[in-house]
Amino acid sequence: MAVKAGPLVLDRSRQVAVQVYEILKERILSVSLEPGAVLSRSVLQEEFGVSQTPVRDALLRLQEDGLVDIFPQYATRVSRIDVNHARQAQFLRLSVELEAIRRLSLQAPKETADAMEMVLRQQEAVADQSTYDRFDSLDREFHRILYEGSGNSLLWRVIRDQSGHLDRLRRLNLPMPGKMISLLADHRRIIDAIRLGDVEAAAKALRVHLSGTLSIIDVIREKYPDFVQDGMPLSSGLVMHGDRSISAK
């Protein structure tokens, strides 16, 4: 008879609700928790070995991120991917990264290119279907260098907070044939242009790179019709995703 696994071991020196939030968010962004999946609070309490309060607080934070939909007295579900939100997150990201890459190509081409090269080599070593998580994490690290190097670490956190829907689209795109090879080639072109201090070439390579996922949104929508929705235009900024009048009980 199979032995039932015990609850996950959390770090009791850190806030429990924060850890539950981080773990659930990573599952949602990696699409191991699929859009539309029901999140049972009692099951989560048992899995994490915690009371209802940390689970409730974690789900409220995920609702603020637009990653779950909470229907009081009914259910909590992983939100569908909002394409409109993803497009606006990409616009924000592209605007910031183009300026960052321009500055770094002019001011610190060698240092920036060397730092990115190290990440690219690690990415090349894990470009395999069995290591999607590591590959995706290194992809984020590659871009984080632009923010850190240009003195915009605060903006990196802002971008990450707004990229949940875009990240999930990217994750659905990653297993498609040739996608990882294409990403590695994009990163190589960006590095080479920065190393040469060629601002125009670096910006062009970055534009192509960041447009990849949304350029095939119809393919993603056709393959995962239950995961994606077009959403409503956001009139007051990215943070206003979903119905904020809904609260968790």
Residue 173, domain CATH: 1.20.120.530
Is 115 found in the same domain as 172?
Answer: yes
Is 144 found in the same domain as 40?
Answer: no
Identify whether 182 is part of a domain.
yes
Q: What is the pLDDT along the chain (249 residues), one digit of tens a residue?
A: 444 455 777 777 789 999 999 999 999 999 999 999 999 999 999 999 999 999 999 999 999 999 999 998 889 999 999 999 999 999 999 999 999 999 999 999 999 999 999 999 999 999 998 898 999 999 999 999 999 999 999 999 999 999 999 999 999 999 999 999 999 999 999 999 999 999 999 999 999 999 999 999 999 999 999 999 986 544 434 443 433 333 333
User: Which DSSP category does 129 fall into?
Assistant: G
Contact 212, 182 (CB under 8 A): yes
Is 62 found in the same domain as 155?
Answer: no
Q: How far is CA 211 from CA 31, 200, 207, 243, in A?
A: 21, 17, 6, 28
Give the whole-angstrom CA distance, residue 145 versus residue 186: 16
Identify whether 234 is part of a domain.
no
Identify whether 143 is part of a domain.
yes
Give the whole-angstrom CA distance, residue 221 versus residue 163: 18
Predicted model pTM: 0.85
Angle subtended at Cα 36 by Cα 34 and Cα 41, rounded to the nearest 5 degrees? 90
Identify whether 119 is part of a domain.
yes
Is 138 found in the same domain as 213?
Answer: yes
Full domain range(s) for residue 178: 82-229
Identify whether 248 is part of a domain.
no
CATH number of the domain within which 47 lies: 1.10.10.10
Q: Which of 194, 213, 180, 195 is nearest to 98 (CA)?
A: 194
Span between the terminal Cα atoms of the chain, in Å: 37
Identify whether 114 is part of a domain.
yes
Identify whether 133 is part of a domain.
yes
Give the whole-angstrom CA distance, residue 28 versus residue 165: 10
Give the whole-angstrom CA distance, residue 7 versus residue 44: 9
